[in-house]
Amino acid sequence: MEASLSTPVKRWLEHVRVLAVEIGPRGSTRQGERRGSLYVKEQFEKLGLQPKWETFRSARSIFHPHLIGAILMLVAFLLFPLGGRLTAALAAGISILVLVNEVLELSFRNNLFRWIVPKGDSQNVYAVLPPQGEHHADLILVGHIDTQRTPLIFKNKTWVKLYDRFTFVAFAAFILQAVLYSLAALFGWTWVWYPTIFTAICAILLALMCVQAELTPFTPGANDNATAVGMVLTLVEEFLRQPLYYTRVWAVITGCEEVQHYGMIDFYRRHLHELKSPRAVVFEMLGCAGPAWVIREGIVVPFRSNPRMVALAERLSAENPQWGAYPVKISGGNSELSDAVRFGVPGITFFGLTPDGEAPFWHQPEDTFDKMNPLVMEKTWEMVLTFIRRLDREESKL
């Protein structure tokens, strides 16, 4: 098997091995994440590049904001029956506050919860590769270095589906509580407290889910997302050997993706004004399934890949049936495509889901180097490289 692999895929696998085995778990804002970023910086330097290291402050957990929201919904539930319309109004205000901040959090926007959760230091590492011809556009290649904890909700496919459905049910219950308590404050209805017992149960379950998650270890993160980092590093070497014609490449390895994309958001805030006709190609979980590209993703709030880039992926897939490539939709999760969409950058994610939507070893202790599928990675490499070179060639027509 090893002898039949192309040289780029062998190098790609070696990057994955170092990150997942030698460095291991890389929790957001933790020492492992920093060691992973240092490895990336060293690899850029070995290739003769001058990488940039940019630090930022980030939340330390994706679960903290939702734990705060769950606790506040329970406070509102307990407060409601204590003092007529006054406590009904206070309970309504708290419920609306939670709802607004949850929507903002799921949309990757600043909110009260982000201000008050514990913070830590993290970093992005990036390098820039000029085109060999006239600079027409910028292409941002994205992979995140950090890994997530291993909570029960990601134990297997069944648990992930339950988690996905629960998020929608809990969100609907929060809306119901905010509406009913607001009506109670206006009309003095006391009976509305009883239907919100269901909301209280959802809030308790959400709080328990968050606490349980915080007690679990971080995954080694071979598939999620050492494969993406390794892909970016291997592409950099390829484009140094044979540069793109019209496209300047930004190879960006972000920190803190697993806590709602603080690293990617920081990158766009710093550098969006420097980019010329930018586009983003994001990589997620490329080692076990695929090749596949994302059409739509999101938790409650949806984000979509750029139609033109999706059309290119479809054309290439049809022209190269040996890849067995296919489109996917993500429910209950996001990639850094969502940040490109928010900042007005056309983007697409290559995401190694199975055809039925399962993410192999997603946030599981079993996400280790021995699970890598070199044949899948070979096909993914061919598709990604062809996609980017075709994207570059199309710049000459624009």
For 313-322, what is each residue's pLDDT tens digit?
Answer: 999 999 999 9
Mean pLDDT of the 153-181 span: 93
Q: Can you spell out the DSSP letters for 281-293? A: EEEE--SSS--EE
Mean pLDDT of the chain: 96
Strand-pair partners of 50: none
Quick one: what percent of the chain has pLDDT higher than 70? Answer: 98
Tens of pLDDT, residue by residue over 263-302, are 999 999 999 999 999 999 999 999 999 999 999 998 778 8
> What pLDDT is attached to residue 3?
57
Tens of pLDDT, residue by residue over 198-231, are 999 999 999 999 999 999 999 999 999 999 999 9
Strand-pair partners of 149: 218
- CA dihedral over 177, 181, 183, 187, signed as positive or negative: positive
Tens of pLDDT, residue by residue over 57-115, are 999 999 999 999 999 999 999 999 999 999 999 999 999 999 999 999 988 999 999 99
> What pLDDT is attached to residue 397?
62
Sequence ranges of the chain with CATH classification 3.40.630.10: 2-59+121-150+218-397
> What pLDDT is attached to residue 299?
79
* CB neighbours of residue 207 within 10 Å: 19
pLDDT over 90 at 332, yes or no: no
Cis link prior to 223 (omega < 30° from 0)? no
Instruction: Give strand ranges (E) for 74-183.
Output: 119-129, 137-144
Quick one: what percent of the chain has pLDDT higher than 90? Answer: 91
Q: How far apart are CA 176 and CA 226, in angstroms?
A: 41
Q: Taking Cα atoms as reference points, which of 171, 210, 177, 207 lies closest to residue 192?
A: 177
Return the C-alpha torsion angle 112, 113, 118, 119, nearest 10. Answer: -70
Tens of pLDDT, residue by residue over 110-146, are 999 999 999 999 999 999 999 999 999 999 999 999 9
> What pLDDT is attached to residue 333?
83
Tens of pLDDT, residue by residue over 36-56, are 999 999 999 999 999 999 999
More confident residue, 3 or 156: 156
The pLDDT-based confidence of 1 (bands split at 50, 70, 90) is: low
Q: How far apart are CA 109 and CA 297, in angstroms?
A: 17
At the topology level of CATH, where does 2-59+121-150+218-397 sit? Aminopeptidase (3.40.630)
Amino acid code (one letter) for 80: F
Angle CA(102)–CA(216)–CA(114) in degrees, nearest 5? 25
Q: Where does residue 188 rank: exposed (0-12), middle (13-18), buried (19+ CB within 10 A)?
A: exposed
> What pLDDT is attached to residue 4?
84
Q: In which element (H, E) is residue 247 found? A: strand 247-254
Question: Do 29 and 121 meet the contact criterion of CB atoms below 8 Å apart?
Answer: yes
Mean pLDDT of the 362-376 span: 97
113-139 burial string, b = 16+ CB within 10 Å, else e? Answer: bbeebebbebbbbbbbbebeeeebbbb
